[in-house]
Amino acid sequence: MSDQDQLKALRVRIDGLDEKILELISERASCAQQVARAKLLSLPVGEKAVFYRPEREAWVLKHIMELNQGPLDNEEVARLFREIMSSCLALEQPLKVAYLGPEGTFTQAAALKHFGHAVISVPMTAIDEVFREVAAGAVNFGVVPVENSTEGAVNHTLDSFLEHDLVICGEVELRIHHHLLVGETTKTDRITRIYSHAQSLAQCRKWLDAHYPNVERVAVSSNADAAKRVKSEWNSAAIAGDMAASLYGLSKLAEKIEDRPDNSTRFLIIGNQEVPPTGDDKTSVIVSMRNKPGALHELLVPFHVAGIDLTRIETRPSRSGKWTYAFFIDFVGHHRDPLISDVLEKINQEAVALKVLGSYPKAVL
C-alpha cells in the first residue's frame, strides 16, 4: 500500500470513528433528558429539582481518568468529558454561575474550567456581590478566588464568608500565566504605564523591576479591566491572561512573566446545597476562639490527635469583638465522617463559634 493509500484509509477510519462518537454523545444527551424528566416526576410538590450534583460529576471525571490509557493525558481527557457533561446538563437546566468580573478574568476562566462552556456565566463587580447573588437565588452558583500560591489569601473572600450563610460546593485550581499585552496602536518603545490587578502586579514584581523599572504601575479592579483600558491607549500595556488577550484583541509583548512558574490560584464554588461524601473530599470551617493564651494550640490539638491533614489555616479579625480572631481552616475529609464529626464536636465545646462552610470534592481539574 502506498503512503497516499494508507493515509486515505486512515482518514476513512477516523471518519467512521467520528460518526460513532457523535452517535454516543447524542445517546448520552438523550439519557440526560430522561434523567431530567425522571427527577421532575419524582419531585414532591413545591420542591425545586436539583440537576447539578457536584459529587456525581467529580466521580465521573475521576472514573474517566482512571480508565484512560492514553495517548491523551488524564487532564485532557477529563476536559473533553467536562464539556460533554456541561452540554448535556444544559439540556436538563442551564446553570447560571456568577463570577468576579468583568469578562476575561481568571475567575471566569476558573468558572468555565469547572462547569464547562455551556453554563451562563454572569460577571459581578465585587466578590461580595457574587455572594449576594447566590444567596438571593439569582444564580445557581458563584466562583470566587480564595488563595494564590504566591500572594496568599484573598481576604475579601474570607470576610464574605463571615457575613453570608452559603455552602462551599467545590474547588478549582488554575495555573496563572501572566502576559504583557499591548494593543494595535501601542508604541511599544514609549510605554509609560502598566495596568493590572494589584495581585498580578505583585506576582510579576521581579520581572517588572528587571524590564520596566521606571514605568508607572497602576492597580485596577481586574486584569480584564486593565486589558480593556489598553485597547484605547497608545502609551500603556496590561498584565493579563490568555482569555483577556483574546477577548480584547491584544497581542503579547512578553509571555509568562510571573515570577514563579508554579503560580496558581485556588477558587471556591459557592452555592446553597450541601454536597454528600465522595470519599475524596475537603472541608472548610470558620472557628472563633476565646481570646486567651494557647487558644490556637487548643484548636489544633484535636486535629493532631485524630491524624487529620490540615491543608490551610488563615486568621482574620472577628466581627464579635476587638482583638478577637476567626480561624479559617481547610482539612482533608468530609464533616459527615464519624472521625471528623467527633473532632468538630470537641472543638465546638471550646470555641466561641464554629461554622462548617462546606465539605466538597477535591479539585479534579
* Average pLDDT rounded to a whole number, residues 237-244: 94
Q: Are 272 and 137 in contact (CB under 8 A)?
A: yes
* Average pLDDT rounded to a whole number, residues 1-21: 92
Rounded to an integer, what distance in angstroms lies between the CA atom of residue 127 and that of residue 144? 7
**Confidence at residue 344, expressed as pLDDT on a 0 to 100 scale:** 96
End-to-end CA distance of the chain: 43
Rounded to an integer, what distance in angstroms lies between the CA atom of residue 130 and that of residue 44? 30
| CATH code of the domain covering residue 241 | 3.40.190.10
Annotate 208-219 with DSSP letters as a single string.
HHHH-TTSEEEE
Domain membership flag for residue 267: no
Question: Do 303 and 239 belong together in one domain?
Answer: no
**Confidence at residue 320, expressed as pLDDT on a 0 to 100 scale:** 64
Q: Is the pLDDT of residue 323 over 60?
A: no
Q: Is the pLDDT of residue 47 over 80?
A: no
Domain membership flag for residue 138: no
Question: Do 246 and 309 belong together in one domain?
Answer: no
Between the CA atoms of 347, 352, 357 and 360, what dihedral angle is there, to the nearest 10 degrees? 0
Domain membership flag for residue 48: no
Mean pLDDT of the chain: 92
Q: What is the pLDDT of residues 134-160, one digit of tens each?
A: 999 999 999 999 998 878 888 889 999
Residues 24-61 as b or e (16 or more Cβ within 10 Å = b): eeeeebeebeeebeeeeeeeeeeeeeebbebbebbbbb
CA neighbor of 350 nearest in space, from 283, 291, 298, 305: 298
Domain membership flag for residue 166: no
Q: What is the pLDDT of residues 91-108, one digit of tens each?
A: 887 899 999 988 989 999
pLDDT band at residue 321 using 50, 70 and 90 as cut-offs: low
- The model carries a pTM of 0.88
Q: What is the pLDDT of residues 255-294, one digit of tens each?
A: 999 999 888 999 999 999 899 999 999 999 999 887 788 8
Question: Do 298 and 254 belong together in one domain?
Answer: no
Last residue of a domain, one of 262, 296, 331: 262
**Whole domain around residue 336: which residue ranges?**
277-361
Whether the ω angle into residue 302 lies within 30 degrees of 0, i.e. cis, is no
Overall domain count for the chain: 2
Last residue of a domain, one of 262, 296, 324: 262
* Average pLDDT rounded to a whole number, residues 229-250: 93
Whether the ω angle into residue 276 lies within 30 degrees of 0, i.e. cis, is no
Question: Do 292 and 251 belong together in one domain?
Answer: no
Last residue of a domain, one of 212, 230, 262: 262
Domain membership flag for residue 136: no
Domain membership flag for residue 232: yes
Domain membership flag for residue 1: no
| CATH code of the domain covering residue 309 | 3.30.70.260
Q: Is the pLDDT of residue 71 over 90?
A: yes
Domain membership flag for residue 50: no
